[in-house]
Structure 1
Amino acid sequence: MDVARMAIARAALDELRPGEVVNLGVGIPTLVADLITAEHRITLHSENGMLGVGPEPETGGAMDYPINASKVPVTAMPGASYFDSATSFALIRGGHIDTAIIGGLQVDEQANLANWAIPGKPLLGVGGAMDLAIGARRLIIAMTHNDRDGSSKLVPDCTLPLTAAGVVDVVITELGVFKFRNGRLTLVKLQPGHSVEEIQQHTEADFDIDL
């Protein structure tokens, strides 16, 4: 188990509210599904056409279970429903998703998000990320704090192609939790074992501190 990725997923779960309809994007966000229980009273939506997504099954594969947007087999919660992609995106674009948790390549000081294209690498298309970024009532970005080369993913200005502008509400990394408050990126929580000084050292973006 990747400790850093699970720390991000647990912090993302802490941000969710009972009764919400939540969409989990590919990658780290899908880990949240395995942490949700019936007591959380959270309904998970998958953009490929499922409402009421449950955790990954202990045994069996895609021939035995439905899959989520990451092509991972999942179980269905009681009362789950299935529908076509057009209906699924109508839910997203119609403002019926309370919170979306998706990954990120860059988030900047203006709450802009870039998460779909890296120059020089094959492009798979923006997928549903743009719809979720604009359509969800609240947008949480779950991502590692730094890229593989050590560069900060929290930057003064995005240099990668934008997914959407001014849409990010919360950013969760393995180092801490940030929220945009009064137009300012603000560190509101430290992940266990990490410090403000460490975060400052690994972050290019300017941010306030309100712990």
Structure 2
Amino acid sequence: MMKIRLAGLLVLVLASACAPPTGYGTIVAESVAPSTAPAVSAVPAVPRDVPPETHTGTGSGEFATTWPADQVGFFTFDCPKCTANVIIDTDGGEHGLVNAIGAYQGTTWMNTDPDRPTKRVTVHANAPWTATIADHRSIPTAETGKETAGRGDAVLKLPAGVTRIRFTAKTRGSVGLWVMSSPSDRDLILNQIGDLQVERDVTGPAYLQVDSYEASWTLTPS
């Protein structure tokens, strides 16, 4: 009786091994023809002239902007009677444009991410304010070999041929320096606290953003 059962079990195992599997899909190699479409490269948009737009308000609020999605904008905010936090945010690729305390006047870049263009700007302030978005023509050029002095947040052009900058600042707060040669190529080259005098390698042409709303500073390209 034991031999008959073992023989029957062996037949069942062999039959199971020959049966097609159930409950699982079958992987089939698919032949895909090579693509003949040319590779697409991300080419930065050429700066073009765009009429400036100005918005005004009092206290906290928000406004819509029609700034072109493919153009970097330069955002200037002026709130001379602000006495509390001044915070400017957008729905675009930037995490924030301004974060300051008290009276504020400064410029930062915006709309630097073509995949997340800015459509709305949110303002947190406690006094009347003016916000202006302008194109590349609004940004001053820091001339090679000459010292440019300023205060607070600012953006400047570095001309072609510049390879190094000397930067000094007097402040009790933080100082950040950003260099942008194209919207997809932005580098933080300085992030310190307090008074400083430094030199950094850069490559012009480029934009340089000073991120220090309460600092007095000088910049000398070479």
Same fold (TM over 0.5): no
Structure holding more strand per residue: 2
Larger Rg: 2
Instruction: Please give the range of the TM-score, normalised by the shorter of the 2 chains.
Output: under 0.3
Structure holding more helix per residue: 1
Q: Normalising by structure 1, what TM-score? A: 0.26
